[in-house]
């Protein structure tokens, strides 16, 4: 949500009412709010993309959903769900064991949405005379491709390499700082200190 709209949303949450565009009277709004994000809220607040008071108002209960790569046992269940949703009536289409193994081994940077697209493309391109769906040699979406990290190269500072490692680890765990700190072998407090230092170029 654009930063300029967030105060209006916050006011609605606090008062339980809205004023329709062009209207003169407020209308009661009885609603249950479910807010979802794929960003780290703390980082969004620090980057001035999210109002802290709005975040506190929304954050009555948090449900953290791990990325698909962290729960590969869900992949066969999701594949069956998408097949049932997308295939036509009377069609018996399924993936073979080799295809399921490839789906299981893939890292899914696009998460569940990317998996659904892969299933959909397999159905569209399927041989009408074959009930077993096939995956192409490369089934990952070009839209989810990420730039390869620079890695350790001569001339790069330790600070830059450390920052890149921390950012990649945070991205891997979808912003879960506790999991990232444990994987990096540092305390959660140290991780926060590093992140604050990266945001402040004069920090040492």
Residues 163 and 132 in one domain: no
CB atoms within 10 A of CB 79: 22
For position 136, which CATH number holds? 1.10.8.60
For position 180, which CATH number holds? 1.10.10.60
First to last CA, the chain: 33
CB atoms within 10 A of CB 123: 16
61-95 pLDDT, tens digit each: 888 888 898 899 999 999 999 999 888 666 788 99
Residue 46 vs residue 203, higher pLDDT? 46
Question: Does some domain include residue 149?
Answer: no
Question: Does some domain include residue 119?
Answer: yes
Averaged pLDDT for residues 107-118:
89
Average pLDDT value for the chain:
84
Contacts of 43 by beta carbon, 8 Å cutoff, 6+ apart:
175, 195
Positive or negative, the Cα torsion across 65, 70, 76, 80? positive
7-63 pLDDT, tens digit each: 999 999 999 998 888 888 999 988 889 998 878 888 889 989 999 999 999 998 888
pLDDT confidence band for 203 (50 / 70 / 90): very low
Say which DSSP state 18 is in: E
Please give the tally of structural domains in the chain: 3
Question: Does some domain include residue 96?
Answer: yes
Question: Does some domain include residue 63?
Answer: no
Residue ranges making up the domain that contains 30: 3-58
Percent of the chain with pLDDT over 70: 88
pLDDT confidence band for 140 (50 / 70 / 90): low
Three-state DSSP class for residue 95: strand
If you search the block for the tokens 């929304």, which residue do you land on?
A: 58
Residues 78 and 137 in one domain: yes
Residues 81 and 109 in one domain: yes
Residues 79 and 32 in one domain: no
Domain boundary residue among 100, 119, 144? 144
Question: Does some domain include residue 150?
Answer: no
């Amino acid at each position: 949500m654009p930063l300029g709209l967030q105060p209006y949303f916050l006011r609605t949450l606090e008062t339980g009412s809205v004023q329709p565009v062009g209207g003169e009277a407020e209308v009661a709004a009885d609603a249950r709010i479910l807010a979802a994000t794929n960003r780290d809220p703390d980082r969004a607040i620090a980057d001035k993309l999210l109002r802290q008071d709005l975040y506190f108002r929304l954050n009555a209960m948090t449900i953290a959903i791990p990325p698909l790569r962290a729960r590969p046992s869900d992949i066969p269940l999701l594949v069956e769900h998408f097949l049932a949703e997308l295939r036509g009536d009377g069609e018996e289409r399924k993936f073979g064991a080799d295809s399921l193994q490839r789906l299981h081994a893939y890292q899914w940077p696009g998460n569940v949405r990317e998996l659904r697209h892969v299933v959909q493309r397999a159905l569209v391109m399927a041989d009408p005379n074959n009930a077993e769906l096939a995956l192409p040699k490369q089934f990952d979406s070009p839209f989810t491709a990420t730039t390869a990290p620079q890695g350790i190269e001569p001339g790069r500072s330790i600070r830059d390499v450390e920052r890149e490692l921390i950012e990649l680890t945070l991205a891997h765990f979808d912003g879960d700082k506790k999991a990232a700190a444990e994987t990096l072998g540092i305390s959660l407090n140290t991780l926060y200190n590093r992140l604050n230092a990266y945001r402040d170029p004069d920090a040492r």
